[in-house]
Amino acid sequence: MGEVERGKGVALWSQIGDILAEDILKGRVRQGEQLPSAQELAERFDVNRHTVRRAIAALEQRNLVRTEQGRGTFVQEQTLDYAISRRTRFTQNMRNLNVEADIEFLGDTREVAPSQVAEAMGLGRHEYVFRIETLSHADGHIVDYSTAYFPAARFPGLPAIYRRTQSVTRTLAEFGVSDYVRKHTRVSARLPDAETARLMKQPSNRPVLHVLSINADPRGVPVQYGVTRFSGDWVQLVLMADD
């Protein structure tokens, strides 16, 4: 058991994939555990690294492993069920899942609203917005890379408040917006651009779940336009009924 057989009519990479899959499915290699390097596996099975890479690629297609740039190949953990509802809140979602989470602030800027953002938020052609970029982590893994836009005229000084609170909900509350709801959500799967792949530490040929969203205050006035790229390896989006 655990050795390839030459001349049996089954490709070596396929045999290696089956052996590693059995190790994973029977718990010999635990969720989140790193697999040996391609060189180590090549030596174990007495094959070249190209053969090992084909076996790993087959395991990725079966969603049994994931490969992280610069780190290696890991056994895939159970995905997080991320709820999207009228009141989607990252912190509450993570609390409901009983996982440790944090938000990493990447930066902010004041800029003229991009045309798509201006149209969606009902802003004039030359109105300014604040753009805030963050990375969300759960149990030490990157869950999403997010870009959020807020009307600069309505929320002067918002970036400084966000840096202090690390929370959209608490930040908007300081401007008198005590509640906000999801007005629009659009989900698609797409390949990440180079910057997204770098920040999320994933290959550029692996799709992310791309979510466009608009949050509005109780009067229906948009307060936030968001672009969130979720890791398809870690997150399963769950669309919930209205709150």
Last residue of a domain, one of 52, 75, 98: 75
CATH of the domain at 43: 1.10.10.10
Same domain for 200 and 234, yes or no, is yes
The DSSP secondary structure of 63-118, one letter per residue, reads TSEEEETTTEEEEPPPPEEEEESTT--HHHHHHHHT--EEEEEEEEEEEEPPHHHH
pLDDT at residue 241, rounded to an integer: 66
pLDDT at residue 67, rounded to an integer: 85
Task: Kindly state the helix (H) or strand (E) to which residue 141 belongs, with its residue range.
Answer: strand 141-151
Q: Is the dihedral angle over the CA atoms 58, 62, 68, 69 positive or is it negative?
A: positive
Tokens representing residue 29 in the block:
């290699």
Tell me whether residue 104 is in a domain. yes
Tell me whether residue 234 is in a domain. yes
Domain that holds residue 47: 12-75
Is pTM beyond 0.75 here? no
| Pairing status of strand 72-75 against strand 65-68 | antiparallel
Same domain for 60 and 131, yes or no, is no
Tell me whether residue 190 is in a domain. yes
Same domain for 87 and 65, yes or no, is no
Residue 195 burial by Cβ neighbours in a 10 Å radius (0-12, 13-18, 19+): exposed
The distance from CA 75 to its chain's CA centroid, rounded to whole angstroms, is 17
pLDDT at residue 161, rounded to an integer: 97
- As a whole number of angstroms, the distance between CA 5 and CA 16 comes to 10
Q: Which residues contact 150 (CB under 8 A, 6 or more apart)?
A: 129, 130, 132, 158, 223, 224
Same domain for 163 and 130, yes or no, is yes
Q: Which residues contact 9 (CB under 8 A, 6 or more apart)?
A: none
- As a whole number of angstroms, the distance between CA 63 and CA 4 comes to 22
Q: Do 175 and 197 contact (CB within 8 A), yes or no? A: no
Q: What is the pLDDT of residues 152-206, one digit of tens each?
A: 999 999 999 999 999 999 999 999 999 999 999 999 999 999 999 999 988 888 8
SS3 for 20-47 is HHHHHHCCCCCCCCECCCHHHHHHHHCC
Q: How many domains does the chain have?
A: 2
The three-point CA angle 143-170-86 to 5° equals 65
Tokens representing residue 170 in the block:
């608490």
Same domain for 147 and 187, yes or no, is yes
In eight-state DSSP terms, residue 2 is -
The three-point CA angle 229-235-241 to 5° equals 95
Same domain for 86 and 206, yes or no, is yes
pLDDT at residue 242, rounded to an integer: 63
Same domain for 22 and 117, yes or no, is no
Closest by alpha carbon to 55, among 69, 38, 72? 38
Question: Residue 185: beta bridge partners?
Answer: 213
pLDDT at residue 243, rounded to an integer: 53
Tokens representing residue 154 in the block:
């309505």
pLDDT at residue 200, rounded to an integer: 94
Which residues does the chain have with pLDDT short of 50?
A: 1
Tell me whether residue 71 is in a domain. yes
**Helix orientation angle between 38-45 and 12-25, rounded to the nearest 10 degrees:** 110
Tell me whether residue 47 is in a domain. yes
pLDDT at residue 118, rounded to an integer: 97
